[in-house]
Amino acid sequence: MDAELKAEHFTLTGPDRLVVDIQGLSLNSTLNELVSKVRPNDPYIGSVRVGQNRPGVIRLVLDLKQPVAPQIFTLKPIGEYKYRLVLDLYPKVAQDPLLAILDSKDPDPLAEVLEQLAQQPGDAPIPSVQGQSLPQTARKPDLPSPPTGGAKPRPKSPTTPPQPSRRREILIALDPGHGGEDPGAIGRNGTREKDVVLSIARRLKRMIDSTPGMKAYMTRDGDYFVPLHVRVQKARRVKADLFISIHADAWVKPTARGSSVYALSQNGATSTMARMMAQRENEADLIGGVNLGTHNAQVAKVLLDLSTAAQINDSIRVGGKVLQEIGKINRLHKRQVERAGFAVLKAPDIPSILVETAFISNPTEEKLLRSSKYQDQVARAMLSGIQGYFRDSPALARRS
């Protein structure tokens, strides 16, 4: 809207409903189309009814599938968006995903539990990533029962030798930047950053999944928006060994070109461009419509202050490996890992880097980013850097 909307809301029970009265609107076809926007598998909303409650006031009635704790707030204009009214629905009673593991009789419930983890954290719902599941964890071999009553243990059968415990697969969290209503940077020929980086991430995931001992998990696997802190939460909840956020650079001058790798800085950016890039990426939540005032103290601490020196040092090491490999296929904008306060890199216990694959604002590199060949090349370069990092630092991989 051109002006800020004012809204009042209340909830009803028996059945559960959320009623929202929005001032300054009249019924039109766009509002009537809201009814068809609700999908049958929506976890919270059964249907939506829209009507003119009184002159200048539209009433939305959301028929709910479960009790919710709504948050309704306005956002000021940013980017291509004007004033927006945002309705967030959170479950009043969130299922405990750890309890789901204990109650499950499925010998391998990880895929279902991961979906629950993705959807229901302690303080806010995390968007799920359909079609993804964690690799199976290595199971320790059954140990023989201790002898009782002085009896000697039976010798093991030669056909069933004891199996050594195995290291679990290294899990790489891939984070394609932007998505949904946040297109990211847009090139002169209309190339959208969110599309390019998703394509590169999918290619890299296939390469990682086909590499023995490694698996990949994506924070988003489609064109939808994921808040910055949720990306960090998702990587931590699946216990990722490495977090890689994938982007395409943009600058005010089309002559800027080259690939870059960033790690977190607690004390300021290493260059003016690094600082401006971090500021641009950190504004993604404002574009995506996140209520920044609702994070609890724990989430805020993760976002702002929990990153450790060890995490940053490891991030610089893996970033150096990746930068070295990307330098073989494209010009580097900077030959060292740059550092800035990217919110998406603030997982306190996971080495985290942000890769700017090329400048989408540069016509030559925009053409590169659109090509399947370059997307494969940059994905393979990142894979080589990842492999080099874990080859040189095997102790950093978590064990089962």
CATH number assigned to the domain comprising residue 14: 2.60.40.3500
**Of the candidates 70, 91, 112, which is a domain's last residue?**
91
User: Is residue 81 domain-shared with residue 174, that is, in the same domain?
Assistant: no
Using CA atoms, how far apart are residues 306 and 33, in angstroms rounded to an integer?
44
What confidence tier does 354 reach under pLDDT thresholds 50, 70, 90? Answer: very high
Using CA atoms, how far apart are residues 183 and 191, in angstroms rounded to an integer?
10
Q: Look at 30-39, 111-120, 301-310 and tell me which has the smallest mean pLDDT.
A: 111-120
Residue 96 in domain: no
How far apart, in Å, do the first and last CA atoms of the chain sit?
A: 52
User: Is residue 71 domain-shared with residue 184, that is, in the same domain?
Assistant: no
Instruction: Specify the pLDDT at position 337.
Output: 93
Share of the chain above pLDDT 90, in %: 34
DSSP assignment of 307-330 equals: --HHHHHHHHHHHHHHHHHHTTTS
CA dihedral 288, 294, 298, 302 (to 10 degrees): 30
Token code pair at residue 276: 């401006």
**Of the candidates 91, 106, 126, which is a domain's last residue?**
91
User: Is residue 203 domain-shared with residue 73, that is, in the same domain?
Assistant: no
Residue 329 in domain: yes
User: Is residue 83 domain-shared with residue 181, that is, in the same domain?
Assistant: no
Residue 53's domain comprises: 6-91
Residue 114 pLDDT greater than 50, yes or no: no
Instruction: Specify the pLDDT at position 3.
Output: 82
Share of the chain above pLDDT 70, in %: 68
Residue 209 in domain: yes
Higher pLDDT, 381 or 55: 381
**Of the candidates 91, 113, 128, which is a domain's last residue?**
91
Higher pLDDT, 297 or 19: 19
Q: Strand 352-359 vs strand 170-176: parallel, antiparallel, or unpaired?
A: unpaired
Token code pair at residue 25: 């609107």
User: Is residue 350 domain-shared with residue 237, that is, in the same domain?
Assistant: yes
User: Is residue 221 domain-shared with residue 344, that is, in the same domain?
Assistant: yes
Residue 84 pLDDT greater than 70, yes or no: yes
User: Is residue 216 domain-shared with residue 76, that is, in the same domain?
Assistant: no
Mean pLDDT of 104-112: 45
Residue 276 pLDDT greater than 90, yes or no: no
Q: Look at 52-56, 123-127, 284-288 and tell me which has the smallest mean pLDDT.
A: 123-127
Instruction: Specify the pLDDT at position 246.
Output: 96
Summarize pLDDT for 31-69 with one digit per residue, the tens.
Answer: 888 888 888 888 889 999 998 888 889 899 999 998 888
Instruction: Specify the pLDDT at position 275.
Output: 56
Residue 139 in domain: no
Q: Do 310 and 230 form a contact (C-beta atoms < 8 A)?
A: no
Residue 58 in domain: yes
User: Is residue 254 domain-shared with residue 383, that is, in the same domain?
Assistant: yes
Mean pLDDT of 282-301: 51
The domain that holds 269 is classified in CATH as 3.40.630.40
Higher pLDDT, 217 or 265: 217
Burial of 125 (0-12, 13-18, 19+ CB in 10 A): middle
User: Is residue 190 domain-shared with residue 55, that is, in the same domain?
Assistant: no
Residue 271 in domain: yes
Residue 161 in domain: no
Q: What's the mean pLDDT when you consider all of the chain?
A: 76
Closest to 60 (Cα-Cα) out of 244, 70, 345, 387 = 70
Summarize pLDDT for 3-13 with one digit per residue, the tens.
Answer: 888 888 898 88
User: Is residue 183 domain-shared with residue 272, that is, in the same domain?
Assistant: yes
Mean pLDDT of 371-395: 91
Higher pLDDT, 278 or 181: 181
Q: Strand 242-249 vs strand 352-359: parallel, antiparallel, or unpaired?
A: parallel
Q: Where are the beta strands (DSSP E) in 207-346?
A: 214-218, 242-249, 260-264, 338-340
Summarize pLDDT for 13-32 with one digit per residue, the tens.
Answer: 889 999 999 988 888 888 88
What confidence tier does 360 reach under pLDDT thresholds 50, 70, 90? Answer: very high
Looking at the 3D structure of the chain, how many domains does it have?
2
Instruction: Specify the pLDDT at position 229.
Output: 82
Q: Is the dihedral of CA 16, 17, 18, 19 positive or negative?
A: negative
Q: Longest Cα pair distance anywhere in the chain, in angstroms?
A: 90
Higher pLDDT, 89 or 104: 89
What confidence tier does 156 reach under pLDDT thresholds 50, 70, 90? Answer: very low
User: Is residue 222 domain-shared with residue 81, that is, in the same domain?
Assistant: no
Which helix (H) or strand (E) segment holds residue 377: the answer is helix 372-392
Instruction: Specify the pLDDT at position 216.
Output: 95
Residue 96 pLDDT greater than 70, yes or no: no
Using CA atoms, how far apart are residues 315 and 321, in angstroms rounded to an integer?
10
User: Is residue 362 domain-shared with residue 262, that is, in the same domain?
Assistant: yes
Instruction: Specify the pLDDT at position 143.
Output: 36
Residue 10 in domain: yes
